[in-house]
Structure 1
């Protein structure tokens, strides 16, 4: 193999590796925020003059789609997009229940006792993760474990 060919092959390999690292980083670096304020207005466009689409309560998790100045475009667990003021969000991890009902258990697994039932749309504070289970804190029921497949968020 000529030196030119070897050089080109090495450059191609390095470029391919760099691109793969960049793509995998972007895919896994999903930016999430949660509602910091008691209530937050999700708006049609950035700015306080824009119509309010939804009112979201404290802890509600949102995926960041775009940033524009002091506003961020977000997507909720149902796929709805809107804009929120960045100052009213937090990086405190939360999940929202995406199934009709989710059991809150005393441990990470179906063999553990059911502590309570959570309903679609309820938010819970994320405490820890273990395999396919998430330890959460519910405002009234306290801490417990929920199957990850029943949640959306961090």
Structure 2
């Protein structure tokens, strides 16, 4: 729903010629913003995500090894993170890793022998499974389960990198 001020602001921007300038700036910045997304994964078996960047802060969440998170902000050796559902809190940087992982978002995901629906299904993944990313090709990611089974999944069915 638009703010009651939206029509006024819209007329004002159009009349001043700023609308085109703002649109150009937003469109020019979009690729840079998309590339600026930084992901990490959780390193420890169980890691506390805190409400504030201190070990004295309350625990907001507990995440397991491999859980992918997106960096929102850095403060000293603390990182504010979010997942596909939204902001989570702060994690101590030494408890994160740069090994890429996906969290399965769909109810069921077919893990295939190759990158395409024409390849046979080797196993099925369930919602919230975490898999390690081994390779990417087009819209497909080769991943490995905690049990060591590898195969290809459609990237958009997971969240991470």
Q: 2:129 aligns with which of 119, 122, 131?
A: 122
Tell me the SS of whatever aligns to 2:33.
helix
Q: Which runs of 5+ in 1 are unaligned?
A: 1-15
Q: Is the 8 A contact 1:116 1:141 kept in 2?
A: no
Provide Cα deviations, 1:100-147, integer angstroms capped at 9, x if missing partner.
111111111111111111111111000111111110011125110001
Cα displacement (A) at 1:23: 5.2
2:67 corresponds to: 60
Identify the residue that residue 87 of structure 2 maps to in structure 1.
80
The residue matched to 2:94 in structure 1 has which SS? helix
User: Separation in 2 of the partners of 1:38 and 1:23?
Assistant: 36
Partner of 1:152: 159
Aligned-partner Cα distance in 1 for 2:30–2:118: 39
Match of 1:101 among 103, 108, 123: 108
Partner of 1:3: none
- d(CA) in 1 for partners of 2:84, 2:36: 17
Runs of 4+ displaced beyond 4 Å? none
Match of 1:45 among 52, 67, 71: 52
Q: Using the TM superposition, name which of 72-81 and 56-65 deviates more.
A: 72-81
Aligned residue pairs, count: 137
Residue 139 of structure 1 corresponds to: 146
* Partner deviation per Cα, 1:8-41 (whole Å, 9 max, x = no partner): xxxxxxxx89x93x65323212111100111111
Runs of at least 5 residues in structure 2 that lack an aligned partner in the other structure: 1-23
The CA distance in 2 between the partners of 1:152 and 1:23, in whole Å, is 20
**Secondary structure of the residue that 2:56 maps to in structure 1?**
coil
Q: Describe the SS at the equivalent of 2:86.
A: coil
